[in-house]
Amino acid sequence: MSAPEPTPPASILQALRAATESYPERPALSCRGRTLGYRELSRAVLALGARLRARGAAGQNVIVALPTSLEAVVAVLGVLAAGARVAPVNPFFTGSELAGLLPEIDARLAIAGADAGPKLAAPALGAIEILRFGDDGLSLDDLLAHDVLDWPHPPDPDALAVAIFTGGTTGTPKAVEHSHASVMAGVLQHCAVWPLRRGAERFLSAAPIFHVWGLFYATFVPLYAAGTLVLVPRFEPVEVLEALEVERISVFCGGPAPVYLSLLQSERCARTSFGALTYCLTGGAPCPRELHERWRATTGCGLLEGWGMSEAAPLCLSRPDRAKPTSVGGPVPHTQVEIVDLDTGTRRLGVGEPGEVRVRGPQLMRGYRRRPADTAAVVRDGWLYTGDIGYLDAEGDLFLIDRKKDMIIVGGYNVYPRSVDEVLYRHPAIAEAATVGRPDARLGEVLVAFVVTAPGAELDEASFFAFCSRELVKYRRPIAVTFLPALPRTNARKVDKRALRELALGTSRT
């Protein structure tokens, strides 16, 4: 008789404890020459948790405004060790941007560094107590002087653990609340589809810790798997490529398609050995088929796409044994995915029929903090209505077409910008492309394209429109094009469609 499966940890802090007890000397975190073993990491986390409890943090929301670093990981886990709820925010936000977030979270305590500390201390932001790394006797050395591993009791799985902000590309970011149970459900779902060797994997992440991917996968999964997480504070292609080779990375947390495109365009890429790679993970933005093919040809390791959102992560993951380029894979365990009609959201559609994607599973958010109406608008009868348009194939794998709000109606025809972008990517002179809609008095809407040319390539308007005429039916052709040095991006490195729509309003007709 086989041994029973071990009981999953109730929280990521309990997962850290298990990793520490099994592999106390194994490197847990590494960043630019600094390394913390599991025993050291746990010592620092528990010391910070004790300090925060002494300041009354238990049961409260605590902001963490730190760039990706050893300190940021310690801070996030230290908040959880204090019995508090962690709210990671972008430390590079301006004071006015932070002022827009704080009413959403109602925090009285923040952990910050040199970037965000002065901005959070501004009188206009209210009375927030700020603990600064580098000040207040708060440093890794101070925390590591603590030599007692006094673990708190496991939390109630239904207690709130994390409030993470949405991207905010259509307005004020919302604080998405997750319980310990939903966080751990996501960690376990990731590992069920992308299985890992416990105590053996080496992860690399350049993702910001205040983003759901950078926190829920790129930070929590390595800790659960007792792996070594190598952090690159800010994405720089040469530094990432060097780390992939020198650190013998087996799991590259990657990110959206532009991350991989930038790596392929770097001169360092041709001199990089990728022999240790097992998984290269992508999501958060469309990944064109051509990029899949170029990455595999260059590295020998394919890209695995995944799909999730701040409100629930993950939802679908590409399975290594049947990865399909441009598909985000099938539902993760204990998760249902359905395609429903765009009008009522209640009529289920069949194989190959595009509609809105709705999901339900244990990884769903509790709701948007202090926004019951917004929560009710997207969570109905236990289903999360994602706002994504897609279809399922006969094997149950999901193909995303576009965002519901991004769909463009040209003269009565539904046009999905992503499908147009996929065609534009086929042009050898185009490195990146994004299409948006613009109001039109005759057709209702028309398409406007924004293009970044490949290094050393030349492309003019005449050649661009000639290509579109050959490859696209008339109603799917952009009627204007703007060449940009780079596409505008959100903090999560997704294409900022809102900024492009604003540019499109000023684009001249060609």
Of 505, 395, 374, 404, give the one whose Cα is nearest residue 448.
505
Per-residue confidence (pLDDT) for residue 169, from 0 to 100: 43
- The continuous run of DSSP H or E covering 306 comes out as strand 303-309
- Supply φ then ψ for residue 50, to 5 degrees: -65, -40
Task: Provide the Cα torsion 368, 370, 372, 373; round to 10°.
Answer: -90
Q: What's the gap between Cα 357 and its chain centre?
A: 19
C-alpha to C-alpha distances, 131 to 39, 45, 63, 127, nearest whole angstrom = 24, 15, 10, 13
Per-residue confidence (pLDDT) for residue 401, from 0 to 100: 85
Helix, strand, or coil (residue 227): coil
Cα separation, 70 vs 232, whole angstroms: 10
The answer to whether the beta carbons of residues 416 and 401 sit under 8 Å apart is: yes
Task: Provide the Cα torsion 40, 41, 43, 45; round to 10°.
Answer: 160
Neighbours of 380 (CB within 10 A): 12
Q: Which CATH superfamily is domain 407-504 in?
A: ANL, C-terminal domain (3.30.300.30)
Span 235-399: which CATH code? 3.40.50.12780
Q: What is the C-alpha radius of gyration for the chain, rounded to an integer number of angstroms? A: 23
Of 202, 195, 200, give the one whose Cα is nearest residue 333.
195
Per-residue confidence (pLDDT) for residue 510, from 0 to 100: 39
Tens digit of each residue's pLDDT, the chain (510 residues): 344 456 889 999 999 999 999 999 999 999 999 999 999 999 999 999 999 999 999 999 999 999 999 999 999 999 999 999 999 998 988 887 788 788 888 898 999 998 888 888 876 677 789 999 877 678 999 999 988 788 999 999 999 999 999 865 445 678 999 999 999 999 999 999 999 999 999 999 999 999 899 999 999 999 999 999 999 999 999 999 999 999 999 999 998 888 898 899 999 999 999 999 999 999 877 788 889 999 999 999 999 999 999 999 999 999 998 888 889 999 999 999 999 999 899 999 999 999 999 999 999 999 999 999 999 999 999 999 999 989 999 999 999 988 777 878 887 677 878 888 988 999 999 999 999 999 887 777 899 999 999 999 999 999 999 999 998 888 889 999 999 999 998 766 778 888 999 999 875 433
Span 7-230: which CATH code? 3.40.50.980
Cα separation, 411 vs 415, whole angstroms: 10
Spell out the domain ranges in the chain: 7-230, 235-399, 407-504
Contact residues for 398 (Cβ-Cβ < 8 A; gap 6+): 307, 316, 327, 328, 329, 330, 331, 337, 357, 390, 391, 392
Cα separation, 305 vs 307, whole angstroms: 7
Predicted structure pTM score: 0.85
Residue 359 in tokens:
């999901």
Cα separation, 510 vs 503, whole angstroms: 15
Q: Percentages helix, strand, coil for the chain, rounded to the nearest 5?
A: 30, 25, 40
Of 369, 17, 58, 15, give the one whose Cα is nearest residue 184.
15
Question: Hey, which residues does 118 pair with through a beta bridge?
Answer: none
Cα separation, 218 vs 225, whole angstroms: 11
Cα separation, 353 vs 339, whole angstroms: 8
Residue 373: exposure state from Cβ atoms within 10 A (0-12, 13-18, ≥19): exposed
Which pairs count as long-range contacts for 103-106, CB under 8 Å and 24+ apart, including other chains?
104/165, 104/172, 104/173, 104/174, 104/175, 104/369, 104/370, 105/61, 105/63, 105/163, 105/175, 105/369, 106/61, 106/370
The answer to whether the beta carbons of residues 386 and 355 sit under 8 Å apart is: no
Domains 7-230 and 235-399 in one fold: yes
